[in-house]
Amino acid sequence: MDKKTLKITYGAMIVALFGVLLLINRQTGGMFQGILLYILPIPMVAYGARYGWKASIAAWAAATFISIFVSTPTTIIYAACEAFLGMVLGTCIYHKKDMTRSLLLIMFLCVISELFNAVIITALSGQSLSMYVKEMQEGMNQSMELMSKYMGSDPRMESQISLMKSMMSDAFIARILLVSMAFGGAVQGFIIYEVSLLILRRLHIAVPKPKPVALYTPPSWTAYLGIVTFMLYNYTFAKPFENEVVQSVAQVAGIVGVMYLMCFGVIAVTLLVQVYITRVKLVVGIMGFLSLFMMPQLVLILGIFYVAGQLHRFLLRKLGYEVQELSDKRMG
C-alpha cells in the first residue's frame, strides 16, 4: 500500500473511531460525555503526530461533519473543539515543537474552549450565564437555611450563616463559576496531554522529550495583555455590559488572562520554595498548589513579575541554570 493510500485509510479509521465514540455517547444518553472530553482528542492527536497539520485539517473537517449525524447539537460544538485540540497537539508533536510549550498551549486552549463552549451552549439553549448564577445562588441559600434549621438556634452559627449569605452576591457566584470552569479546562488539557503521550509511545510514535517547565520563557508582552484582561474582568463586575454576549465574552477573556498570570505565579512560588526552603518535589508541589488558594493575589503579582520582570532570570540563576539566552528568547 502506497503512502497516499495509507494516509487516507488511516484518516478514515480515525474519523470512524471518532464517530463511534460520539455514537456511543448518544446511545447512552450522554452518560459518558464527561469521560469523552478526555478521549475524543486522542484519535486526532495520533493522526496529526503521523501526518502533520495539512492532512489533519481534512480529518478534522470530516470528524466535525460526521458529528452532525451521530451526536446532539450541543455535543457537536464540544466534538469540534476536542478534535481541534487533538489536531493542534498532534501537529506540535509532528513538527517536534518544545513539549513544555505544547503542554501550556493545550492547557490554554482547553481553558478557552471550556469557557467559550459554556457561553455558546448557554446562548443556544436560550439561557444566560446570569440564570446559572441565580440558580447556584438559590441552591446555596437553601442549603444554608437547611443547615441553620438543623443546627438549632446557636447565635454563633447564625452569625456565620448570615455572613456567608451576605457574601453570596451575583458577582461572587459568577467569579466562582468562571474560575471553576477555567480550572477544570486547565486540568483537562493536562490530562489530555499525558494520556496522548502515553498512547503515542504505545503506538511507537516518536515524542520529543519535554524540558523542565521552569526553562520556558513566555513573551513579556503577554504579561501586559494579562493585566489588561484582568482589569476588563473586574470592570465587567463593577459596570456590567448591557449586551449579555459581550458581558460573557469579556468575562471569559478576563478569567483566561487571570489564569495565565496565576499559572506562572504558581511556577514562581515553586521556584522560590526550591531556592529558599527545600527541593523535595512533594513539598514543592504541595506548597505551589496551596499558594493558589491561600494567597491568590500574591500569586497573581508574582506571575506578572515572572513574565514581564527579572524574577524568572533571578530564580533560575539561583538554581544554577544557564540564563544568558533568556533575554533573547523573551523577545520572540
Stretch 10-30: mean pLDDT: 84
- What would the pLDDT profile of 273-288 be if each residue is shown by its tens digit? 988 888 888 888 889 8
Between CA 76 and CA 63 the distance in angstroms is 10
Placement of cell 478514515 in the chain: 12
Between CA 257 and CA 255 the distance in angstroms is 5
Residue 162 pLDDT: 66
- CA nearest neighbour of 257 among 119, 111, 128, 121: 111
Contacts of 290 (CB under 8 A, 6+ apart): none
Contact 115, 226 (CB under 8 A): no
Residue 332 pLDDT: 44
Task: Name which residue leads in pLDDT, 164 or 91.
Answer: 91
Asked whether residue 302 carries a pLDDT value surpassing 80, the answer given is yes
Task: Name which residue leads in pLDDT, 129 or 261.
Answer: 261
Instruction: Read off the pLDDT band of 163 (50, 70, 90).
Output: low
| Integer-rounded Cα radius of gyration of the chain | 23
- What would the pLDDT profile of 171-227 be if each residue is shown by its tens digit? 667 767 777 777 788 888 888 888 888 888 888 887 877 777 777 888 888 888 888
Helix orientation angle between 170-202 and 73-94, rounded to the nearest 10 degrees: 50
Asked whether residue 102 carries a pLDDT value surpassing 80, the answer given is yes
- What would the pLDDT profile of 104-160 be if each residue is shown by its tens digit? 889 888 888 887 777 666 666 666 666 666 777 777 677 766 766 666 566 666 666
The set of cell numbers assigned to 30 is 450522554
Between CA 39 and CA 18 the distance in angstroms is 9
Residue 120 pLDDT: 67
* DSSP string for residues in 173-226: HHHHHHHHHHHHHHHHHHHHHHHHHHHHHHTT---PPPPPGGG----THHHHHH
Which helix or strand (DSSP H or E) is residue 157 part of? helix 155-167
Residue 235 pLDDT: 82
Stretch 326-330: mean pLDDT: 46
Contact 326, 313 (CB under 8 A): yes
- What would the pLDDT profile of 30-78 be if each residue is shown by its tens digit? 777 778 778 888 889 989 998 888 888 988 999 888 888 887 777 788 8
Residue 325 pLDDT: 47
Residue 209 pLDDT: 78
* DSSP string for residues in 36-48: HHHHTHHHHHHHH
pLDDT, mean over the chain: 80
Placement of cell 524540558 in the chain: 211
Between CA 194 and CA 185 the distance in angstroms is 14
